[in-house]
Amino acid sequence: MLDLKSMTPEELSDAFAAMGEPAFRGKQVFQWLSRGAQSLDDMTNLPKSLREKLRDTAVFTPPRIARKQVSQLDGTIKYLWELADGNCVESVLMRYHHGNTVCISSQAGCRMGCAFCASTIAGKARDLTPGEMLDQVLFTSLDAAAPVSNIVLMGIGEPLDNLDNVLKFLELVNRPEGLNIGMRHISLSTCGLVPGIRRLAELRLQLTLSVSLHAPDDETRSKLMPVNRAYDVETLFDACHDYFRETGRRISFEYALIDGVNDHDWQAERIAERLRGMPAHVNLIPLNRVSERDLRPSRRMDEFQRLLERRGVTATVRRSLGGDIDASCGQLRRRAMERSGHGEAAERSIRRGDV
Ligand code: SAH
């Protein structure tokens, strides 16, 4: 079967040429899909013969809204999408003065195992296809009647653990015939998969790289983030410094402050040392409490920010949107899984669309 939504106009043209259709049909179909066409019959300028051929050979099932929550505080909307095979993922639409941003998922679940994160509790079900990432942007925008100017790959999943599909998604979303969203309007967040960071550096993409740091020392970071046992703090920062040298792009470091765990004075100092020689930005995030996890938000947000600033590190306390709707990573999917049981059983039932 052809996964039409994961294909570039050129790839579509090639596939259609093989069916004896003229090449320009590729661009036509790409444009229909980029506008959110839901069935072949929507594609009115395609000859009936091609539509019939595609009916048997192509898939492009749009995601279904399994749940939707609208924040009464700031208009943030959170979507739980059910994909064609019953797996569910989340996206969040955030409204900022500079435009609308969609935060999308890159995998159904996650295998990185971070101690504070809801998305990883039941492990990874599967990678998302490029088309499934694109659909989250497209159908969020259509449902909310909100043009999207920025994308963040910061939802469920680890984008660098699904890098080929993420790169293809970036190409698709970038296309002028499609959503035409420029690389500078896209951010990608990683827990620190060093080979992926190095591959991105080689490609010199103009996107913004966010690194989820959460601790500047191996002892704390390995406890919070198992990925640190494979790529330790020094290896990670070597890759970050090289990334900056290669791309000239300033990296953002995410840091969720956790009471008594990563909010000590010496840790602020250590962050500053690690960042020496590289312009960077530290985003201090209030820890979102996840019921399965026994970690508490730090009470030292402002103090920690001042400690960093005093050492020459640009740091901001992230304004939290959607505080009334579980709008942080993986929480909505998790709730849906809880409603239908726990762990494996819950994963199975959510795949059946039982939410
Ligand atoms: N896998 C990628 C992207 C998804 S997570 C990554 O690790 O960066 C998006 C961000 O939310 C990451 O910075 C992650 O560490 C953070 N996060 C996850 N759970 C959180 C929680 N309970 N409170 C605050 N931030 C959290």
Residue 257 lies in a domain: yes
Could you tell me if 227 and 262 lie in one domain?
yes
Bridging pattern class, strands 148-153 and 208-212: unpaired
Pocket test for ligand 1, best of 162, 212, 257, 291 (most atoms within 8 A of CB): 212
pLDDT at 348 over 50: no
Q: Give the model's confidence band at 345: pLDDT under 50 very low, under 70 low, under 90 confident, else very high.
A: very low
pLDDT at 7: 97
Residue 107 lies in a domain: yes
pLDDT at 354: 29
Task: Determine the distance separating the centroid of ligand 1 and the alpha carbon of 213, expressed in angstroms.
Answer: 10
Nearest protein Cα to ligand 1, atom 3: 154
257 close to ligand 1 (CB < 6 Angstrom): no
Nearest protein Cα to ligand 1, atom 24: 287
190 close to ligand 1 (CB < 6 Angstrom): yes
Q: Give the model's confidence band at 338: pLDDT under 50 very low, under 70 low, under 90 confident, else very high.
A: low
pTM: 0.92
CATH number at residue 48: 1.10.150.530
How far CA 176 is from CA of 99, 112, 173, 250, in Å, comes to 19, 34, 8, 26
Could you tell me if 345 and 310 lie in one domain?
yes
Task: Determine the distance separating the centroid of ligand 1 and the alpha carbon of 329, expressed in angstroms.
Answer: 6
| Sequence-separated (6 or more) residues with CB below 8 Å from residue 327 | 69, 71, 76, 78, 92, 321
285 close to ligand 1 (CB < 6 Angstrom): yes
Pocket test for ligand 1, best of 106, 207, 228, 254 (most atoms within 8 A of CB): 254
Could you tell me if 138 and 193 lie in one domain?
yes
The Cα–Cα gap between 131 and 145 comes to: 20
Nearest protein Cα to ligand 1, atom 26: 117
Domain with 6 in it: 2-59
What are the tens digits of pLDDT across the range 51-86? 999 998 998 899 999 999 999 988 999 999 999 999
290 close to ligand 1 (CB < 6 Angstrom): yes
- In 3D space, the residue among 185, 178, 173, 179 whose CA is nearest the CA of residue 98 turns out to be 185
pLDDT at 346 over 60: no
Neighbours of 139 (CB within 10 A): 20
What are the tens digits of pLDDT across the range 275-329? 999 999 999 999 988 877 789 999 999 999 999 999 999 999 986 767 777 656 5
pLDDT at 342 over 90: no
Could you tell me if 50 and 87 lie in one domain?
no
Q: Annotated catalytic sites, by residue?
A: 90, 329
Could you tell me if 139 and 53 lie in one domain?
no
Could you tell me if 80 and 54 lie in one domain?
no
What are the tens digits of pLDDT across the range 220-256? 999 999 999 999 999 999 999 999 999 999 999 999 9
